[in-house]
Structure 1
Amino acid sequence: MTADDVLSVLALMRRAEVGVWIGGGWGIDALLGEQTREHRDLDLMHPEDREDDVVRALNGVGFVESLNWRPVRFVVAASDGREIDLHPLTFAADGSALQASLDAERPFVYPATCFVTGMIGDTSVPCLSAEQQVYFHQGYEPTDRDRHDMAQLRRAFGIATHGSVR
């Protein structure tokens, strides 16, 4: 998934009038304002009540569902191998949100302050905060990509992550 691909997907979501936020590796690179590694996919958070609009827009440009782990997440893929990992969020009146998890008693919490902006190239993009990125990278054995991403957050923001002694 290239930077141009990400910006095209974001433009598609704007045309569909659906707010989305970038998470995962592209979200971290957006916070950093530079691409630090290649990305196999794009993680997008979207309002659960707009899921039909998201799917319809992505279907219109050739993405089809390839994995269904609803209500936690689902994946759409294009024939050329590009993938988008979609995470449905249920928003509260205060701007915070919840995402279902595999443990129904412990949903993922998104404070209103975690919805920030970053940069991909010269374009401002909606993404998740560094603190929210760290929150999602806990509780499992990190991959090499995860270690790389967390090292970038430590370097840029001086925050504690797994793999750090802070």
Structure 2
Amino acid sequence: MPPEEVVWFVDWLERREVVYQCNGGWAVDALVGRETRPHRDLDVFLDERALADAVAALRERGYAVVDDWLPVRIELAAEERRVDLHPMRILPGGDGVQALLDGGELVHRAADRTRGSIGGRAVVVASAARLLQLREGYEPRAVDLHDLAQLRRLER
């Protein structure tokens, strides 16, 4: 997933004033301020009210749905580009509530959102502490170990 495509999608979200939060490896690199590894996809939590429009915009750009696990997530791909959308119900204070596969919910606090930079473009991301929390509970892959090392450096 090239940084130019991340910037395009963030521009699209922000022009529409959509509440969003980049997560995953791109969020880590945004906090670091540079690309530290190749990225398979862009993970974005976004206001569920913007989901249909976001999917339509990605389809117009050549993306097609490859995984549909709504209401939890939907992933779209076009050649080397992938976007993994996670809809959130936005609460009055700005916190986002994401559905989970087991029927539970996960709250993404507005207070845990911060700014990072991708390709020189400011983007909304989860804080380093929150990104560390989101990586708990599963066996880390090589890219996860890389991201964890980056996040731990940021926390020092």
- Does structure 2 retain, via aligned residues, the 8 Å contact 1:21–1:127? yes
1:7 aligns with 2:7: yes
Normalising by structure 2, report the TM-score.
0.93
Aligned residues with identical type, % of pairs:
39
Structure 2: runs of 5 or more not aligned: none
Q: Structure 1: which 5+ residue stretches go unaligned?
A: 159-166
Hey, what does 1:30 align to over in structure 2? 30
TM-score between both structures, scaled by the size of structure 1: 0.88
- The answer for the alignment partner of 2:94 in structure 1 is 95
Aligned-pair RMSD on alpha carbons?
A: 1.4
Higher relative contact order (CA 8 A, sep 6+): 2
SS of 2:9 mapped into structure 1: helix
Any conservation in 2 of the 1:34–1:121 contact (CA below 8 Å)? yes
Whole-Å separation in 1 of the counterparts to 2:25 and 2:145: 11
Q: How does 1:110-149 map to 2 (within 5 A)?
A: 110-149=108-147
Bigger radius of gyration, 1 or 2? 1
Paired amino acid for 1:101: L
| Letter of the structure 2 residue corresponding to residue 137 of structure 1 | R
**Which residue number in structure 1 is paired with residue 54 of structure 2?**
54
Poorly superposed stretches of 4+, deviation over 4 Å? none
